[in-house]
Structure 1
């Protein structure tokens, strides 16, 4: 993970240049423009770019990619003053790529991919769904946008570390102070983990209840209509809820001993130290995906797209940005507690 961050600037330049060229190609008529009419977004209610067309949309994509490329190049090679301005621009650009452009279908793709591996053995409509249905090109493009946002954020983070003479790999300065000390991170990290574990439980409770035909937060007509239109849909919802609950259990590892030392029941690994990236990278990516999905529901809720009486169908998801933020904070606290002095620090480089 540290190596990825230290090299993120050049990777972000490459990603941005590639997206700039792709935007120009779309504007000139190349197929594959992932928004607008090409996007199977029902009624254009999920993506904020649903109304975009290849012309002029492709030119806007190219211009945005060029802006990201210039910013990433400044982060990787610019002087201190240039980097300061580039950092100021990089974080909003990274946030736009990683959490604004994508929508809730990204989370659905990640969550349903394991189910799709056994879907051919299921009866009803679920047996007819494949990976291509949950990962159409417009959703895969969202994954590419998240990658670009992560690379740009990594480049900005690395530039900030260099500006304060911290290690470019792990971010550690000569002495940690304030909220970055391991002791402080342990305290606020526990709070973040608690929030990340508790927040999704409302969603889990509703979906498990629906699978048992208990209309928690919705009407019985809602359950009957959903089961009529897509038999097995509430079992799929219970699957997603269980997926979220298991994620909550794994989140506890960010503050438990078994999150640092492999437990005895894991063959060949028992007693060994858990590599920090093994916990930090998945937690960070899941935090982004959860936040994206929650912002989609929150945006639609504020637009009045939901029936207030059927609150169970949308209100729990509106708390997912809180879940995502708490999970990201918990991953950061875990990193601060475990980073120590990396090999690059010991060699005296930054």
Structure 2
């Protein structure tokens, strides 16, 4: 077996995400080891403020043996990330790091986190503005939206993203594609024209899926029991005053995101409209759309998987379908949004400075 280690500056730049993922994995594995040995801060089990363990897939995990499992998991991720920095000369062995990296990245980014990440991101703007506007939110503060167990989930998402970016760079080297743009002489479905076609379909799906959820929450705020019983609405308002207004806020947040998603196929998503002072007529930086769209895609997929787990566990009533069924389609929303963001990137990446392809 021949091991090839390429030392050119371009290759070193291409493998830095894999090295970053290795550092993350080693650090997180060390955290797991410290929790197993009695250090405070274990983010699951009894330390998690989730009252009945209904949200986290790791709700029943304790520091022992949980910390040891995390340490072992960190070791596996470290070895996998380091494998992404090198390529074997034999084709079957080249694929082994990818078979490990993608499942590990998905586990970290979308399986281990839960819907509280979405709730934290959605309510953060409101919690920041409320003190300035003199609004009372029942004593809820920013720290309530981001306790350590939820911040830990963001840390896991970061590790998953680093592994995913490292895997993409590795795939490019396996395909003899450009390390900068991923192009080869045969682009096919990644050509700008093809991306415009399938990206448009993805945008339509991403805009349509959340509308049922929005309709239910707006209806509840108007005291219309769409998908639930009147008793459900009355009990919710009694137990948590203002909860349906908060739901309408989230629905409006989602609808606004859907409107912005249209920009991935519209001219105003590439050139700032005239009504934006100081920016009108200027080119929209692609990352300004791609980064938020990708992060939102991850967050809503995570939230949707949380509702799917809860529904499979029998935590919901079929008669109250409006309270949970629309959310189970969110992974479709997230997948469509990520696909639309990819299409937008492929359309707007322009000529590559490294390979000269366009």
TM-score, normalising length from structure 2?
0.92
Unaligned stretches of 5+ residues in structure 2: 1-11
The answer to whether the aligner puts 1:329 opposite 2:339 as a matched pair is: yes
Residue of structure 1 aligned with 2:101, choices 83, 87, 90:
90
Residue of structure 2 aligned with 1:209, choices 219, 228, 252:
219
Match of 1:59 in 2: 68
Question: Given that residues 172 and 341 in structure 1 are in contact (C-alpha distance below 8 angstroms), is that contact kept between their aligned partners in structure 2?
Answer: no
Q: SS at 1:118's partner residue?
A: helix
Q: 1:340 to 1:68 in 2, by over 3 A?
A: same
Q: SS at 1:76's partner residue?
A: coil
Q: What's the Cα RMSD here?
A: 1.6
Q: 1:345 to 1:267 in 2, by over 3 A?
A: farther
Match of 2:303 in 1: 293
Deviations 1:283-316 (Å, cap 9, x if unpaired)?
Answer: 1110010000000101111221101111111011
Looking at structure 2, the residues matched to 342 and 319 of structure 1 have their Cα atoms a distance apart, in angstroms, of 37
Match of 1:45 in 2: 54
Looking at structure 1, the residues matched to 345 and 267 of structure 2 have their Cα atoms a distance apart, in angstroms, of 14
Question: Given that residues 41 and 47 in structure 2 are in contact (C-alpha distance below 8 angstroms), is that contact kept between their aligned partners in structure 1?
Answer: yes
The answer to whether the aligner puts 1:198 opposite 2:208 as a matched pair is: yes
- Report the alpha carbon displacement of residue 261 of structure 1 after superposing the two structures with TM: 1.2
- Report the alpha carbon displacement of residue 335 of structure 1 after superposing the two structures with TM: 1.2
Looking at structure 2, the residues matched to 193 and 41 of structure 1 have their Cα atoms a distance apart, in angstroms, of 34
Q: 1:142 to 1:78 in 2, by over 3 A?
A: same
Q: SS at 1:13's partner residue?
A: helix
- Report the alpha carbon displacement of residue 6 of structure 1 after superposing the two structures with TM: 5.5
- Report the alpha carbon displacement of residue 170 of structure 1 after superposing the two structures with TM: 2.0
Question: Given that residues 15 and 85 in structure 2 are in contact (C-alpha distance below 8 angstroms), is that contact kept between their aligned partners in structure 1?
Answer: no
Deviates more, 1:276-285 or 1:112-121: 112-121
Looking at structure 2, the residues matched to 211 and 11 of structure 1 have their Cα atoms a distance apart, in angstroms, of 45
Residue of structure 1 aligned with 2:83, choices 74, 81, 90:
74
Q: SS at 1:269's partner residue?
A: coil
TM-score, normalising length from structure 1?
0.94
Looking at structure 2, the residues matched to 271 and 333 of structure 1 have their Cα atoms a distance apart, in angstroms, of 23
- Report the alpha carbon displacement of residue 80 of structure 1 after superposing the two structures with TM: 4.9
Looking at structure 1, the residues matched to 59 and 213 of structure 2 have their Cα atoms a distance apart, in angstroms, of 27
- Report the alpha carbon displacement of residue 44 of structure 1 after superposing the two structures with TM: 0.6
Residue of structure 1 aligned with 2:36, choices 23, 27, 39:
27
Looking at structure 1, the residues matched to 337 and 258 of structure 2 have their Cα atoms a distance apart, in angstroms, of 9
- Report the alpha carbon displacement of residue 250 of structure 1 after superposing the two structures with TM: 0.4
Deviations 1:87-108 (Å, cap 9, x if unpaired)?
Answer: 1110000000011000111100
**How is 1:1-350 mapped onto 2 (pairs within 5 angstroms)?**
7-81=16-90, 82-120=93-131, 121-123=134-136, 126-177=137-188, 179-346=189-356
- Report the alpha carbon displacement of residue 176 of structure 1 after superposing the two structures with TM: 1.5
Looking at structure 2, the residues matched to 103 and 176 of structure 1 have their Cα atoms a distance apart, in angstroms, of 36
Deviations 1:171-204 (Å, cap 9, x if unpaired)?
Answer: 1223422x21111111111110000001000000
Bigger helix share? 1
Question: Given that residues 196 and 326 in structure 1 are in contact (C-alpha distance below 8 angstroms), is that contact kept between their aligned partners in structure 2?
Answer: yes
Q: How many residues align?
A: 342
Question: Given that residues 15 and 84 in structure 2 are in contact (C-alpha distance below 8 angstroms), is that contact kept between their aligned partners in structure 1?
Answer: no
Unaligned stretches of 5+ residues in structure 1: none
